[in-house]
């Protein structure tokens, strides 16, 4: 999604008053609120997994979120090229893959650890796109965080379930793919139409997995109600808040704020799921956050000089 570029005032022309602190902090508050919503929504999803399983929860989230977005956006389906629809299909496939893999991970390892490993996908994308030597530092910090988090430094896999960690890393790869096709979809479709259509694609892809995994458990009214809460908290509300924030917030600042997701997830896991966070885990998460922020700032500095 494109952001507005500030235009310098002409000589001798009075400029607008300096923005107040509330105006400057408004978009930041929206992004933080979106992060809180999506991660606490993920915590609710973990609570729902005993009822419907990880794949059932994914199906409920995507179907209900798609229904809300399609009703709200009412996107048109005519007038688009084959390439446009190919982009939407790729976006929806990445979205469903990211959610399926992440929820499979969250069913096996703590929420904070799952998000920390998942965020390595976008971090790797940023490092590879920049191609600067300094990014080896950020990659090294991230690797150190992963070693601490997994317990590899103590001679084994330690605290994390290997399959759960693998699901989280695979979800990170899908997240990087999601970012690429999200940007392409935003350029090809107006407003949130592409997102709504892609969410529908993701819902259709996830439906067979949910039916096989959960069956008629997906039709229990209380389960549907909780699934709607997950859909609103993890998809509809954060996407809307981020859309509003990006209209007034530079994309690099937005990316840095998104790097805080592992810390928010760890907090949600502690408060909602009673998942403990030791000193080593906190240090590991801090290293990954620092690596993500450093990679973003390095890329921003490179663009500023070019």
> Can you tell me the distance from the alpha carbon of 128 to that of 113, in angstroms, rounded to the nearest whole number?
23
Q: What average pLDDT does range 119-135 have in this prediction?
A: 71
Neighbours of 50 (CB within 10 A): 8
Query: Considering just the CA atoms, what is the radius of gyration of the chain in Å?
Result: 20
Q: What angle do CA 68, 85, 4 make, to 5 degrees?
A: 70
Residues making up the chain, counted from first to last: 306
pLDDT over 50 (residue 298): yes
Contacts of 188 (CB under 8 A, 6+ apart): 80, 83, 84, 87, 194
> Can you tell me the distance from the alpha carbon of 202 to that of 93, in angstroms, rounded to the nearest whole number?
6
User: Which DSSP string do the residues of 111-172 spell out, in sequence order?
Assistant: HHHHHHHHTHHHHHHHHHHH--TTHHHHHHHHHHHHHHHHTGGGTS-TTS-HHHHHHHHHHH
Residue 111 tokens read as 């929420």
Do 34 and 195 meet the contact criterion of CB atoms below 8 Å apart? Answer: no
Q: What is the pLDDT of residue 36?
A: 92
Measured CA distances, 217 to 100, 205, 234 (Å): 18, 19, 21
> Can you tell me the distance from the alpha carbon of 243 to that of 220, in angstroms, rounded to the nearest whole number?
33
pLDDT over 60 (residue 22): no
pLDDT tens digit string along 37-92?
Answer: 999 999 999 999 999 999 999 999 999 999 999 999 999 888 889 999 999 999 99
pLDDT over 60 (residue 23): no
pLDDT band of residue 168 (cuts 50, 70, 90) is: very high
Q: What is the largest CA-CA distance in the chain?
A: 70
Residue given tokens 């992060």 in the structure block: 35
> Which of 4-13, 86-95, 139-148, 260-269 has the largest mean confidence?
86-95
Q: What is the pLDDT of residue 259?
A: 74
Comparing 7-11, 82-86, 267-271, 296-300, which segment has the lowest mean pLDDT?
A: 7-11
Measure CA 142 to chain center: 18
Would you tell me the crossing angle of helices 21-73 and 193-214 to the nearest 10 degrees?
60
pLDDT over 70 (residue 302): no
Neighbours of 154 (CB within 10 A): 12
pLDDT over 60 (residue 14): no
The whole-chain average pLDDT of the chain stands at 81
> Can you tell me the distance from the alpha carbon of 78 to that of 65, in angstroms, rounded to the nearest whole number?
22
Q: What is the pLDDT of residue 156?
A: 42
Residue given tokens 């996107």 in the structure block: 75
Comparing 12-21, 113-122, 212-221, which segment has the lowest mean pLDDT?
A: 12-21
pLDDT over 90 (residue 203): yes
pLDDT band of residue 143 (cuts 50, 70, 90) is: confident
pLDDT over 80 (residue 108): yes
> Can you tell me the distance from the alpha carbon of 193 to that of 227, in angstroms, rounded to the nearest whole number?
23
pTM score: 0.79
Q: What average pLDDT does range 143-166 have in this prediction?
A: 70
């Amino acid at each position: 999604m494109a952001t507005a570029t500030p235009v310098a005032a002409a000589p001798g022309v009075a400029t607008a008053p300096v923005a107040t602190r509330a105006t400057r902090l408004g978009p930041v508050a929206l992004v933080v609120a979106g992060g809180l919503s999506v991660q606490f929504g993920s915590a609710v999803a973990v609570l729902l997994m005993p009822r419907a399983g990880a794949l059932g929860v994914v199906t409920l989230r995507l179907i209900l979120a798609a229904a809300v977005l399609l009703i709200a956006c009412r996107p048109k389906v005519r007038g688009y090229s084959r390439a446009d629809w190919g982009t939407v299909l790729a976006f929806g496939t990445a979205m469903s893959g990211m959610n399926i893999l992440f929820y499979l991970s969250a069913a096996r390892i703590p929420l904070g650890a799952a998000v920390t490993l998942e965020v390595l996908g976008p971090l790797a994308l940023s490092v590879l796109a920049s191609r600067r030597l300094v990014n080896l530092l950020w990659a090294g910090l991230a690797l150190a965080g992963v070693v601490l988090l997994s317990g590899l430094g103590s001679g084994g896999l330690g605290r994390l379930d290997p399959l759960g960690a693998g699901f989280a890393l695979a979800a990170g790869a899908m997240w990087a793919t999601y970012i690429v096709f999200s940007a392409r979809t935003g350029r090809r479709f107006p407003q949130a139409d592409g997102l709504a259509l892609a969410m529908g694609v993701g819902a259709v892809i996830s439906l067979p997995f949910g039916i096989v995994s959960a069956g008629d458990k997906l039709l229990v009214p209380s389960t549907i109600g909780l699934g709607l809460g997950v859909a609103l908290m993890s998809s509809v509300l954060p996407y809307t808040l981020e859309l509003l924030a990006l209209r007034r917030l530079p994309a690099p600042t937005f990316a840095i704020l998104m790097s805080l997701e592992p810390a928010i997830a760890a907090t949600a896991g502690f408060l909602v799921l009673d998942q403990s966070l030791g000193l080593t885990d906190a240090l590991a998460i801090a290293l990954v956050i620092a690596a993500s922020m450093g990679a973003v700032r390095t890329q921003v500095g490179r663009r500023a000089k070019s």
